[in-house]
A and B are shown apart, each in its own frame.
Chain A
Amino acid sequence: DQQVKQNSPSLSVQEGRISILNCDYTNSMFDYFLWYKKYPAEGPTFLISISSIKDKNEDGRFTVFLNKSAKHLSLHIVPSQPGDSAVYFCAARYNTDKLIFGTGTRLQVFP
C-alpha cells in the first residue's frame, strides 16, 4: 500500500511559468517531508524539506507547501527553467529514520 502518492506521472510547463507538483500521503505519523530531483542515469539529489509543524518553506525558486489536514504537499517552482526538467520525488520521514518515497512526477519545461 503506497503511503506516499504522486498521482500525476508527468507535467509539462512552459519556461518562465509556475510548475506545481503534488504529493499526497496517508500516514499522519510522518514528521518531515522532502523533495528530490532526479536526472536520468544519476542518483536523486535533495531539493527542499519541510517539517510537519510548518506549512511553508521557501528556498529561492522552490517553495514547498504542507496542508496537514488534507495530508497534501506541493512543490512550486517559479519561474520554471529548462534545467528543471527531471523526475521529482516527494518523500516522507517516519520512525525517525525511514524515508518513504513517492512514485515520481516527470517534469518537462519547454521553451
Chain B
Amino acid sequence: DVKVTQSSRYLVKRTGEKVFLECVQDMDHENMFWYRQDPGLGLRLIYFSYDVKMKEKGDIPEGYSVSREKKERFSLILESASTNQTSMYLCASSLLRPIEAFFGQGTRLTVV
C-alpha cells in the first residue's frame, strides 16, 4: 500500500517561529510536492522537487523554503511563521510525468 506520511496532523505555532513540516514517502517516487489548501482557493502549489536536492517554486513560494536531502523525505520550512500562513498543508508524491499523485493526510497549522 502506497504511503505518504506527514509528521503532524495538527500544529500550533507562534508568530515569528521557524516551523518545519516533514513528509516521508515509501514509494521511491521522484517527485514530491507541498500544497496549501484554503477555503475558496483550492490547493495551491508552494514548492515541488523532482529529485534529491532539486526544487522548483510553485505559485506561492513567498515565506517558505524546502529541503530534500533524501529521496523519501521532503520538508517545508516556514522561516518566520505569520498568521496568514495558518492553513492546511498537504504533501504529495508521484512518479515522473505523473498521471496521479498520492497525498498525505495533511497538517493543519495554526499560527497565533
Chain B residues whose CB sits within 8 angstroms of the CB of A104 once the complex forms? 42-43
Chain B residues whose CB sits within 8 angstroms of the CB of A16 once the complex forms? none
Judging by beta carbons under 8 Å apart, are B42 and A103 in contact?
yes
A97-B48 contact in complex given A44-B90, A49-B99, A103-B42, C-beta closer than 8 Å = yes
Interface size bucket, B side?
20 to 34
Query: With A and B bound together, what is the CA distance between A27 and B9 in angstroms?
Result: 34
Query: With A and B bound together, what is the CA distance between A6 and B40 in angstroms?
Result: 10
Judging by beta carbons under 8 Å apart, are B99 and A32 in contact?
yes
Q: List 13 A-B contacts (CB under 8 A).
A: A9-B40, A43-B103, A44-B43, A46-B100, A93-B97, A96-B96, A97-B31, A97-B50, A97-B97, A100-B45, A100-B59, A101-B42, A103-B40
User: Footprint of B on A, CB under 8 Å?
Assistant: 4, 6, 9, 32, 34, 36, 41-46, 49, 89, 91, 93, 96-104
